[in-house]
A and B are shown apart, each in its own frame.
Chain A
């Protein structure tokens, strides 16, 4: 009987705290304020630092969602290659087909280089100048490991015959 009363009182007390003091509230208050103030904006889709400005993404996009915009100051990335423009992605036109992501030589759209799921994986820090001079090479054992899962082995064969 004692125990029963204790359970009832404890339950009533914790419900009181929940209702009147919003204790244990799981709703994200930061998000709530952001939404009520209209501050929610789409995540940036272009890694502007990593992009080398080749314009390929704008060419492959089937819906014309990407426009190349001129940089205020262009930048020499390597001898004979200057980065003069970067893409601007219109979210309302984009159908998220990821053609641009797959096409981009540095995977500068929709997140980090070569992620499995390319959408929204955070900030990206690279030095493009260094990478153009000396690209990242995948090690031999990694390639062998990946090759178990490939149906098309031509890449591997070509690599061996070189």
Chain B
């Protein structure tokens, strides 16, 4: 398989309400990535634009973005897998380059969740599930993940305090991340206040909506070596899907799409879970991070809680996870999230992660889930 490298990364600040339009929000991430890569718009051969369309007022945003970013007349198109859209975009851009069709491709993820009113947002929330068979009961993301939390608790004895420890870790690092929406210090007592959203998940088990953008620039091996001082190589990509209907699920203690995607990514990279030096996982809810520990093989099924109890997923631990604050602290601007995770890992592997740098990190992993385990993307990166 052809080698494809990351030559530039960028991210806007993630904020509650961005004081500008989607094109301007996207440009913030784009500008940073282009400066990071040291390239000009005419050197970008194609762009892949990613968002969740239910939050966009603009129809067919790829065309708008290509124009505003100065990327006409190059090809552009739109990729969507809800919360994992920009990881699916990475997979798409990788294929464009590995096939030889293009040399340099850009993945732009954005979401301005404040684009629609909170009433509209509430209405859309109910349509995140199968609208024919499940939404008529009043479904929402927290309730689905809550059923996985309950499933994990009942099967393995995991407790609400274990999930609280994950939020505590998130707030520890979120305070350091100047691009995060939630930077307050939290105590375990505050985290465990019984403000339930959907039992057993409480307010602090849930990430916040945010406006944000991310941008990742990829290049062929030859171009990457030419353009980047320290290219970060894509070593393994795994993607898998699972039934959207809960009635089609055979497990409520782990996400099958994540397990299958991880297996494929590890095989492609030729590594084992224990080879990963630093990881970003999709912690839209605390339970999602706990399941990720197990689905990615960092812990045996049911043993994820031991990792967090022993602080093994802190910066100094065996496998640092979400030490940029994760979605719980950064916020979760749906289409931009995967690109933000990738950016964190790329900075880690270049040794440019500042306060949160894991010394000598050589292999990094991104786990990015769309919906409640409908789409799973696991991407592995490495440096020579």
* A and B: interacting chains: no
Interface of A toward B, CB cutoff 8 Å: none
